[in-house]
Structure 1
C-alpha cells in the first residue's frame, strides 16, 4: 500500500482512545499498517508527556510528539525539543478567577498537574504550561471566557464542551504540528490531523486534510474535510483506510468541507 500523506497527527482523548481510555486492537492494527507504509504517526494531545508516553510506547512510536496542546514539542519520546511557558502573572490571575467563580480548575506545571484539591498556592517557583477550568454551568463558562479574553496573551480552547483550556497565545496543536513538520522535513499539506474538540480546531483547519471524529463538537465537524466514526467505533482505523492508504497510490483531492 502507498500512503497519500506523510504525517498522521492524532488527538488522544475522544479520538485515538475510546471511552475506556484504550486503543482498540483494530485501531492499533491500522496504525501499524500506516507506519509500515512510511507514515509518521504523531500524538497531538492536551495531556502531559508522562500521561501520553505509555500509549506512544504501546504503539511503538519513535516520532516527534505534541503535548499539552502544543506547549511542548518532543523530538522523540523522552527527548524534549521545545517548551513554551505561561506568564506566571497570568497564572496568578487565572487562579484568582477560579476562586472567584468557585469552580473546578487544574494547572499543568513542567513537573506536575495540580487541581483545586491539590493546590498549594506556590506559583512563582514553578514553570507553568497550561491552565484549565471545568463547569457544566453554561452561563459561568461564558463569563469565564469573557474574563479570560480581557486578560489577553492567552490561547483559549477546550477539550470537552464543559471545560476551557488555556495556553500561551499562539501556542496550539497547529503550531506544534508545524514544528514537527520542520523536524521531519515535510509540509503541512502532507499532514492529516484528527480530533474532536476545540483544541484540535487549528490543526484540523491548517493541515492538508482535517478529520473530525463522529463524536466531535459541532464546530469541529463543520471545519473538517471529513467526518468519520466515533472514538468507540474505530474512527482512526477508518481515517487510515479511507484517506491515507491507497492501493494505487494516486493522490486524492481534498474533500469539500462538511455543511
Structure 2
C-alpha cells in the first residue's frame, strides 16, 4: 500500500499525546501507526524522555525498526532504532549549570537530570519527582546541590528538569529562569509541574529538520506533527501540518494548525491519522 499525501513523515509526542494517563497506547492508535508505516510514511516518536525509553515504547508496539528513528530528550538526541546508534546529540553548556542549580538551591526546588539510561539524579524527593521516576521507570539517586553542580560542570547534561507545584512553575520558576539563564539555554514548561531547562538552539523542530535534511530528504512542509505541551511548540510551528489533542496546553493550542476534538484518552493520534490519510475509513470500535 502506498499513500498519496504531501506528508512523508509523522512526528508524534508521547506523554499527553500518544500515551494515555495509564502510560498505555490504545489499540486504535497502534493500528493507525501500522497502517501509516505500511503506506510508506516515516513514523517518528519525539519526546522529552531519554531516547532509549522512547525506543522501548516504539519497539513494544512492533513497529518497523529498519530505517526508523526517534527523537529524545526534547530534541537533544536522535537515535537510529535498528542498531541504537546515536546520530545526533547536543546538551547544555557548563555556564548554565551553576545558574540553574544555585537558583534551585536558594529556593529549595528539586532539580534533576538523566544519568545514562537508568537513573534520575535529583536533589530532593517530592511527589512530582516520584511521578517522573514512575512513568519513565528510572531509578532515583539523590545528591546534594553542590555535588550536582560539581558533576554537571564537568559533564553537562542534555537538559535539567525542575519538578515543583504548578503555581511555582508558572509564577516563579519560568519567569525567574527567563531572566537568569544565558542565551544558550531556555526554560520550557512541559507539564504543569515540570520546567525543563534545554539548549536554546535545540528542540524537536531542530531535530526534525536534521532528519529531513540528512535522512528523509524532504522539507518540513512534508512533516505532520502532533503534540500537547511547551516542548512541542517549535515542532507544531515548523511543520507543514500540526495538530494538538483537546487536552493540550494553551501554549500548544495557540500554535497548532488544528486542535483535535479528541484527547490523548480518546485516540487523538489515531483519529488524526484516520482523518488526514484515510478519509475516516476506520472506526475505533472496529478490529483495524
* TM score, norm. by length of structure 1: 0.88
What secondary structure is seen at the aligned counterpart in 1 of 2:165? coil
Contact persistence 1:3–1:246 (CA under 8 A): no
| 2:80 maps to 1:75 | yes
**Could you tell me how far 1:127 is from its partner in structure 2?**
4.1
Structure 2: unaligned runs, 5 residues or longer: 125-140, 281-288
Q: CA RMSD in A?
A: 2.0
1:151 aligned residue: 181
Q: TM-score, normalised by structure 2?
A: 0.80
Whether the aligned pair in 2 keeps the contact of 1:173 and 1:199 (CA below 8 Å) is yes
CA shift at 1:99, angstroms? 1.4
Which of 38, 41, 59 is the equivalent residue of 1:39?
41
Considering fraction of residues, name the structure with more helix. Answer: 2
More deviation, 85-94/112-121:
112-121
Q: Does 1:167 align with 2:174?
A: no
- 101-110 or 128-137, larger mean C-alpha shift: 101-110
Secondary structure in structure 2 of the residue aligned to 1:113? strand
Deviation of 1:139 (Å)? 4.8
Deviation of the 1:222 alpha carbon: 2.4
Shift of 1:100: 1.3
Q: What is the deviation of 1:161?
A: 2.2
**Paired position in structure 2 for 1:64:** 69
Q: Give the C-alpha shift of residue 141 in structure 1.
A: 4.0
What's the counterpart of residue 219 of structure 2? Answer: 187
* Partner of residue 104, structure 1: 110
Residue 251 of structure 1: aligned partner: none
Q: Which residue of 1 aligns with 2:122?
A: 115
Q: Paired residue for 1:130? A: 159
Q: Does 91-100 or 105-114 show the bigger shift? A: 105-114
Matched, 1:225 2:250: no
Change (3 A) 1:97 1:61: farther
In the alignment, what sits opposite 1:250?
Answer: none
Q: Distance in 2 between matches of 1:145 and 1:160?
A: 12
1:100-147 deviation line (CA, Å, top 9, x unaligned): 111222213455431224243132443411101122252564332233
How many residues of Structure 1 are paired with residues of Structure 2 in the alignment? Answer: 248
Conservation of the 8 A alpha-carbon contact between 1:101 and 1:140: no
Q: Deviations over 1:55-75 (max 9, x none)?
A: 111232431211000111123
Q: How far apart are the structure 1 equivalents of 2:238 and 2:17?
A: 18
Q: For residues 223-245 of structure 1, give each alpha carbon's deviation from its aligned partner in whole angstroms, at most 9, with x where no partner exists.
A: 11112211110001111011133
Does residue 2 (structure 1) correspond to residue 33 (structure 2)? The answer is no
1:15 and 1:213 in contact (8 A); partners too: yes
Which has the larger displacement, 10-19 or 89-98? 89-98
Contact 2:228 2:249 in 1 (8 A): yes
